[in-house]
Structure 1
Amino acid sequence: MAATIVAGFSLQLGMGRSSFGSPPIVHAHAIVFMGWVVLYVAQNVFVARQARSLHRQLGWIGVVWVVAMVVLGTIVTVRMVRAGHAPFFFAPLKFLIFNPISLIAFAGLTAAAIRLRRHTEWHARLHYCAMANLLGPALGRLMPLPLLIPYAYEATFVAMMVFPAAGAIADFRTRRRVHPAWWWGIAALVATTLVTEALSNSTAGLTLYRQVTAGSSGAMIAPLSYPPWPPLA
């Protein structure tokens, strides 16, 4: 999962589709989210090397880190929608909804994993599902999402689900059963998508979009219309 995230964002930088010329809030968002990837990998390394004390100490840093991720991720999403800069392969309303909803699901799964930290099998699998829920932006940069309109979001979700599915299959192959943590984690991820789809096609979702974009450039963009493709040159 860490390699997927690095590959996705590195590809965009290498192809000249992204740069470091973004506002400070975007850089803060990037540092915090990539910091979580480093934290997650480090935690797994500590467990593998039996460094349980370091693992526990770093885990409490992660609690604060998750709060920063939810706040910054939501702020950046709102700023993009208000500026009329939602990715052109997503309807602006759906983009406004699925990013915060995904972050809430990530925080919920992480909180459950921390709550069950003394139950190692639950703890590890719920953290894994939470991490999988962050893969959407990276996978979107590796997949031909413009060619998948109007199902770009759904296609990204299917690709993301490969990771928890692989974990459940590995469980079955080694233990002859699938640990219930996988079912809870997968159910949370599916619920995230169902809530996103429901809100994106509801009066409440349209009202939220109007309130968020009021007085901004985003208010001039139809919430369920796809923005024009950027110039190819």
Structure 2
Amino acid sequence: MATLVIPPLTAARGERFFLISAIVMSVLVVAGFSLQLAAGRSSFGAPLRVHIHAIIFFGWVVLYLTQNILAARGSLALHRRLGWLSLAWIPAMVAMGTYVTVLLVRLGHTPFFFQPGYFLIMDPLSVFTFAGLAAAAIVKRRQTQWHRRLMFCGMAILLGPGVGRLIPMPLLIPYAGEAVFALVILFPIAGVIRDLRVTGRVHPAWWWGLATIAAMQFTINLITFSAVGVGIYNAVAAGSPGANVPPLAFPPFPPH
């Protein structure tokens, strides 16, 4: 059986791209939430559920960055052992992300730059899509080039809340969701460009990742603005203050 030999320079460039990207992604997430804290739009006095949600999702950012550092250093044994944490971490992210979204909808506290019905579909579907890509990456863990690219695309989806806090979302109504999508998808596009420059071809994992992210955004809009989406919202909000909030109307701007 022939052995594929990757030239040292190409391998080094590959490690550098994924490591630098992981650092940039992590910085964006931290910067986005830090800006909210500095602006007084969030505080450490938030309910316990908010802190648990933050710990779980920031924990994944730390894990993703750590895994890329270990891979770049060649500490693959530790990288593999640490990777098994994802089997518990990802389901926790799906459960907590969905729970918090449903709770905000029922309280009638969805972000004012999203229609409540859009928010209800967008958040859980984004987390489920991330989980799907991450699960595929785990299945492909023995195929490094597939594994790292699929996990990269999954991590890109999680950038939404971070980058959304760094751009003027109120000014982007009614296209705030599409604006975040456009920024998120730039990361796998950068991966495509990197492959073309370094190897002269695009690894198919990028196409799968890009198609999945695009399908996610299409599905969010398809469900939200359909009778199914309105029905889901009404069922979730039934018997709560959120039931009095029109699912497809933008909430009023918060008082200054």
Q: TM-score range by the shorter chain?
A: over 0.9
For residue 16 of structure 1, report the CA deviation from its aligned partner: 1.0
Which amino acid in the other structure matches residue 229 of structure 2?
G
For residue 119 of structure 1, report the CA deviation from its aligned partner: 0.5
1:6 to 30, 45, 64: 30
Alignment coverage as a number of residue pairs? 232
Task: Give SS of 1:185's match.
Answer: helix
2:117 to 68, 90, 93: 93
Task: Give SS of 2:158's match.
Answer: coil
Residue in 2 that maps onto 1:68: 92
1:167-226 CA distance string (max 9 Å, x none): 110111001111100000000000100110000011111111011000100000000000
Query: Normalising to structure 1: TM-score of the pair?
Result: 0.98
For residue 97 of structure 1, report the CA deviation from its aligned partner: 0.3
Residue in 2 that maps onto 1:194: 218
Residue in 2 that maps onto 1:110: 134
Task: Give SS of 1:223's match.
Answer: coil
1:27 to 51, 64, 75: 51
Which amino acid in the other structure matches residue 28 of structure 2?
T
Q: Does 1:155 align with 2:155?
A: no
Q: Does 1:119 align with 2:143?
A: yes
Aligned CA-pair RMSD? 0.6
Q: Does 1:209 align with 2:253?
A: no
Task: Give SS of 1:142's match.
Answer: coil
1:134-167 CA distance string (max 9 Å, x none): 0110111001010010000001100111111111
Structure-1 separation of matches of 2:183 and 2:121: 19
Rg (Cα) greater in structure: 2
Structure-2 separation of matches of 1:74 and 1:2: 22
1:16-36 CA distance string (max 9 Å, x none): 111112211111010000000
For structure 1, the residue ranges without an aligned partner over 5 or more in a row are none
Structure 1 residue runs of 4+, over 6 Å off?
A: none
1:141 to 165, 175, 178: 165
For residue 63 of structure 1, report the CA deviation from its aligned partner: 1.5
Residue in 2 that maps onto 1:130: 154
1:31-74 CA distance string (max 9 Å, x none): 00000000000001111111111111111111110000000000
1:73-126 CA distance string (max 9 Å, x none): 000000001000000000000000010000110000000000001110000000
